[in-house]
Amino acid sequence: MKYTDIDKAMRAYETSLDQCIDADVYLVARLDGRGFTRLTKELLPLERPFDVRFRDAMIHTVERTMQCGFRIIYGYTQSDEISLLFAPGESTFNRKVRKLTSILAGEASAQFSLQIGVPAVFDCRLIPLPDERRVVDYFRWRAEDASRNALNAWCYWTLRKEGASVQQATQALTGLSVQAKRDLLKDRTIIADEVPAWQRYGTGLYYEAVTRTGTNPFTGQSTTADRTTLRREGELPVGTAYSDFIRDIVREKTVTTVT
């Protein structure tokens, strides 16, 4: 068989399961740590319930995946997950599922492993969303999930540090309402609403227009230059303010600051 014939035949098999996401829908990629329970409990000496080094490695991973060849306008991370919002109309690789998922999962896995110092793997799924409202709902959902996870983590590790076993701490929290968990912490002088915001709501990254002022070294005249920087936000707004925040990003309304 000629090379051109077998090449054509094999490429047909190779692309037979290709799927592309419609260009008219919004697109989010979510990356989740694979096997991170063992990673965080057995391989890494982490602070409990939250570890700054782990957080910083996740934020760095978000930064790198936002700059790996796709136009991504918002990145969000909480716990061991990352959500990436593609710019409306972004069509690199024609939104081919296998290309987007493999590149993003590979990039995140490599970057996080380098940061944390042990091998780590992320999986990736693509989430098509029909309109702006659902984009806002998606990120509100993930922020609410972060809030619930934070409350559970603080309760669980507070009990563990008091001497409870894994089973005892788990049983003590089973069936408790949100208010009961908050009361459990309050009885130990821990106010749920006062733990760091990044633990309760996650961290967001978005592009910000910055106007920098300076002086021309040759003429001595004042000058300005416009730059776009990637900003980390560890104190995200909540409730309807967060909805407005996400909506502005979707509409690509960048914030301009002067420095």
Domains and CATH numbers, the chain: 3-131 (3.30.70.3000), 138-199 (no CATH), 200-258 (no CATH)
Q: To the nearest whole number, what is the mean pLDDT of the chain?
A: 92
More confident residue, 50 or 222: 50
pLDDT (mean) for 223-243: 88
- Tens of pLDDT, residue by residue over 63-87, are 999 999 999 999 999 999 999 999 9
Taking CA atoms, 210 is separated from 223, 227, 228, 250, 252, in Å, by 14, 5, 6, 19, 15
Q: Which tokens go with 176?
A: 């408790």
b/e 217-237 (16+ beta carbons within 10 angstroms → b): eeeeeeeeeeeeeeeebeebb
Res. 108 pLDDT band, cuts 50 70 90: very high
b/e 46-72 (16+ beta carbons within 10 angstroms → b): eeebbeeebbebbbbbbebbbebebeb
- Tens of pLDDT, residue by residue over 143-179, are 999 999 999 999 999 999 999 999 999 999 999 999 9
pLDDT (mean) for 195-223: 82
pLDDT (mean) for 83-99: 95
Q: Which tokens go with 59?
A: 């934020």
Helices 52-66 & 97-116, crossing angle to 10 degrees? 140
* % pLDDT > 90, the chain: 77
